[in-house]
Structure formats: structure tokens, C-alpha cells
Amino acid sequence: MKDFKVLEIKTSVFADNNLQAGKLREELKEKKVFLLNLMSSPGAGKTTTLVRTINGLKDDLKIGVMEADIDSDVDARTISQTGAKAIQLHTGGMCHLDAQMTRQGLEGLDPDGLDLVILENVGNLVCPAEFDTGAVKNAMILSVPEGDDKPLKYPLMFSICDVVLINKMDVLPYFNFDLEKCKENIRLRNPNAIIIPISALKEEGIKEWTDWLHNAVKSWCE
């Protein structure tokens, strides 16, 4: 017989986080606030895409943004220039946000009166995918320079996302990136994922993305 206990910490942590995330979603539903969790690797173009997204929706929706990063306030300062309500979240070295951290961010942002809150998660294709933040929908950005095989290398990230934005399509001719193969790889992980090729820099494909997001917000807030 064993004379010691074995605790499944990871399972316990995830179970508690999922419970807290569910409660947070219920509260957001009551307040008619749509929370989007936006993820990507560093350099994929999250902030530029976010600026384009805000500019495309700010005439119809009241928007707030929570910028999560290990340190610095560069992204929050960039977003604040769009007129959206913004707050910077420092994770203290953590490579992800969980439901409780998201709740703290929302308390600091104060989402009352907002229709849409976007959480720009920490740049990482591994840790953020493991934790339910309480968001209504998950979206991620994959950039062309990263390669079309990323869905095979980081399956969890692609499997949990409702939308995959394939960014930097303007540089497609300069990289060995097969768009159709990438789409195929994404669908292997997530047959239901909506895939939208974009160029945030050139503002191409942004309207298709903002139309989807606008409809999702309206549906949630009804």
C-alpha cells in the first residue's frame, strides 16, 4: 500500500478554471457583453489586426480591449489611439490568462456600457489554448511566415478556435506557404473553424472578419 497521496493537480486546476469561466460567461451574458479571446504567436499581427477590427466596428459597437503581456504597455498605448477603451494586463511572467485573471482584467476595464471586449492574449501558441478565459468565442491569427504546418504542430490551439485568421497574405509570394494545404490542416484539427485570409497591413479581408464578429456580438447581446 502507498503511504502517500497522489494529487492530479493539473486536472484539478483545469476543472476549477472551467467552472470559473462558465460563471464569467453567464455574467457577461446577463450584462450583454461579448468577450472575444484573440490569440497568436508573437509577431503574427494581433495588434495591427485589432486596430483594423476596431476601426471597422467602432461606429456600430462600443468596444473595450484588454492587452495582456508579460511586461510593457506598448500595445495598450497603440489601441488607445483608436478611441477604444483600453487596459494593459501584466501577467507577472505567466504565458497565458485564465478565467480569474480575465475577471480581474474586466473589473479594471469596467465593461458596463460596452458591447464588445477583446482580450489580446499573451503571444503563445501553447499555454493560452489550455485555459478557458470565459470568452464567448476564441479567435487566432496565423501569419504566412509561420508556415502552413502550424495546425499540425499546435493542434490544441487550432481545435479550440472558432475563427482562424490567416494574416500577411500580402507577402504570400515570398514564402513557401500553401494556403489550401493550410486550410486542409486546420480542418483536420477543427472542421467547424471559420477560416478567413487577411492582410491587416493592406486591410484586405478585414470586412469579412468584422462582419462575422459584428453578427456574433449582436446574436449574443439579443
Instruction: Please write the tens of the pLDDT for every residue from 30-54.
Output: 999 999 999 999 999 999 999 999 9
CATH of the domain at 214: 3.40.50.300
d(CA 192, CA 187): 7
Q: Is residue 5 over pLDDT 60?
A: no
Q: Is residue 1 domain-resident? A: no
Residue 181 lies in a domain: yes
Q: Is residue 3 part of a domain?
A: no
What does the pLDDT average to over 11-19? 83
* Among 93, 33, 44, 43, residue whose Cα is nearest residue 66: 33
- Residue 208 maps to a domain: yes
Number of compact structural domains in the chain = 1
Q: What is the DSSP string of the chain?
A: --SS----HHHHHHHHHHHHHHHHHHHHHHHT-EEEEEEE-TTS-HHHHHHHHHHHHTTTS-EEEEEEESS--HHHHHHHTTT-EEEEEE-TT-SS--HHHHHHHHHHH--TT-SEEEEE--S-SSHHHHS--S-SEEEEEEEGGG-TTHHHHSHHHHHH-SEEEEE-GGGGGGS---HHHHHHHHHHH-TT-EEEE-BTTTTBSHHHHHHHHHHHHHHHH-
Task: Cell numbers for 212, please give them.
Answer: 462575422
Specify if 161 maps to a domain. Answer: yes
Instruction: For residue 2, tell me if it sits in a domain.
Output: no
Residue in the structure block whose three cell numbers are 491587416: 200
Mean pLDDT rounded to a whole number for the chain:
92
Q: Domain limits at 181?
A: 9-221
pLDDT digits (tens, 9 = 90+) for 123-159: 899 999 999 999 999 999 999 999 999 999 999 999 9
Indicate the burial class of 71 (C-beta count within 10 angstroms; 0-12, 13-18, 19 or more): exposed
Segment among 171-175, 200-204, 218-222 with least mean pLDDT: 218-222
Tell me what pLDDT residue 143 has: 98
Amino acid 168 reads K
Any residues with CB less than 8 A from the CB of 196 and at least 6 apart, and which?
163, 164, 165, 166, 205, 208, 209, 212
Q: Tell me, yes or no, whether 178 lies in a domain.
A: yes
Q: Tell me: the pLDDT tens digits for 62-96?
A: 999 999 876 666 778 888 899 999 998 887 777 88
Residue 179 has pLDDT above 80, yes or no: yes
